[in-house]
Structure 1
């Protein structure tokens, strides 16, 4: 395993440069990055501490610093040390500025301003926490997305990821022999999505869960034939209601959520189209 030092430098929380790094590093096998994180770097004193860290462990530098003065100090030091310094946002910012003919505002952390969108995201997370695992169904119509599925199909983590993207979510666990609550039968506003998983994979996950809890691994909860029937029954329910289904067997939370977000966009477009059609005067096309 080849190892190297990688310095991530950001004037904010480091979320952007970390995501870019992760997306790139997974394309290289047999390579391990010793990652050094330098967040909230906004002054000369702070960038000088970063430079000292790079001198102690020389390696490639990826940065998201919009303040040209602070970034200039870092870039000059990297040139002196003969280590690459890559400003990962420059190509995108340059292209946008050129296309829009607009001047960029070099304001660190501007994407985290406490605006209406930020507080809407906080509200979405609170709503999702309150409506986890079938709770507070009386106002589930206020959700943007309702996720339904059998046990261990990643309903909660999927909803929390979606909430962080600003969607109010609720999830409901399907239990064998328990009918679907009336509150979920006639939903109109929210997108309802069914999550499913390969029965063999689901059985293995449940068995591991029971083992962790020191419970009987051969109970109906994890027994393959029972799990297969449970999954088939859930699929019949989804089909009967016309709910879209997302198979999470080989999908990460992020990938499943991306699919759900696309479905939500289509759902909203359908609702808006129906409203427009209803508002159109009779005989007008």
Structure 2
């Protein structure tokens, strides 16, 4: 380009997609210099009229991402009448999607922003689950949407990560007879905490396999049956003291247990929403 040109980016959302495409195209022309003027969150024909007046007075083009059919049609029609070049950056691809997948687009603006927000919350929840895994920092208990408690190998960590992918902030605390539970655990609303239990036989089997994978002797105290009974009795005592719901995870997949947790907490009025 010999001189900087003006492009009006018009959108019924922020307009980030249109700007990225305009800059990508501009980069193919010499130095790629282009001045972009934003008209974001366009909602009615008056907004379109203002864009057209500005574009006509500066002999500029319009690049737009408008999904509302009535506004798109109005912009296309008026642009033709005024001799203004207006490029629809989304509709050709949406038509291809419709034909290929035999579905109609929702045509609702700002959906991408909602997806971005959901993605951010998911990442935040995953980071939370990692930070407050296995009782590492008890300060996270009061910040958590869900707190899982149970003896070792009751799927606390896998469940925390699975629920984090559903955008819930989850902390978990191991229950060990020799270690007193944190005081914060007893200060939580009862509809926040969930206890996880397992049958002694199943836990013995899981722990033996765990020791085997670590290259340790299967008769270590960790997998000793009497020790397992002691841990489970202790854990049940703590759970009853807290008054939290209890789920037996013995023969349940992580997904199944997670669904039960969410259903139980909704029923108890924990304000859990997926």
TM-score, normalising length from structure 1? 0.56
Deviation digits for residues 27-51 of structure 1, max 9, x if unmatched? xxxxxxxxxxxxxxxxxxxxxxxxx
Q: CA RMSD in A?
A: 2.8
Compute the displacement of 1:105 (Å).
2.3
Larger radius of gyration: 2
Q: Show the counterpart of 2:208.
A: 207
Deviation digits for residues 123-170 of structure 1, max 9, x if unmatched? 111111110111121232010000011000110000000000010000
Q: Show the counterpart of 1:195.
A: 196
Matches within 5 A, 1:1-285: 69=96, 72=99, 104-105=105-106, 114-188=115-189, 191-268=192-269
Q: Show the counterpart of 1:9.
A: none
Compute the displacement of 1:104 (Å).
4.0
Residues 67 and 136 of structure 1, relative CA distance in 2, 3 Å threshold = same
Q: Show the counterpart of 2:74.
A: none
Residue aligned with 1:194, SS:
strand
Deviation digits for residues 3-45 of structure 1, max 9, x if unmatched? xxxxxxxxxxxxxxxxxxxxxxxxxxxxxxxxxxxxxxxxxxx
Is this contact kept in 2: 1:149–1:195, CA < 8 A? yes
Compute the displacement of 1:190 (Å).
6.5
Distance 2:129 2:97 in 1: 40
Deviation digits for residues 66-118 of structure 1, max 9, x if unmatched? 95645756xxxxxxxxxxxxx7xx7xx7xxxxxxxxx74279xx689643232
Distance 1:220 1:243 in 2: 29
**Between Structure 1 and Structure 2, how many residues are aligned?**
178
Deviation digits for residues 214-254 of structure 1, max 9, x if unmatched? 21211221011221221122112111211111111111000
Q: Show the counterpart of 1:274.
A: none
Is this contact kept in 1: 2:190–2:244, CA < 8 A? no
Compute the displacement of 1:197 (Å).
0.8
Is this contact kept in 2: 1:191–1:267, CA < 8 A? no
Residues 127 and 269 of structure 1, relative CA distance in 2, 3 Å threshold = closer
Runs of 4+ more than 6 Å apart: none
Residues 142 and 267 of structure 1, relative CA distance in 2, 3 Å threshold = farther
TM-score, normalising length from structure 2? 0.58
Distance 1:268 1:111 in 2: 31
Distance 2:225 2:185 in 1: 28
Residue aligned with 2:173, SS:
strand
Distance 2:191 2:269 in 1: 9
Residues 219 and 125 of structure 1, relative CA distance in 2, 3 Å threshold = same
Give unpaired runs (5+ residues) of structure 1: 1-65, 74-86, 94-102, 272-285
Residues 252 and 241 of structure 1, relative CA distance in 2, 3 Å threshold = same
Residue aligned with 1:153, SS:
coil
Is this contact kept in 2: 1:199–1:227, CA < 8 A? yes
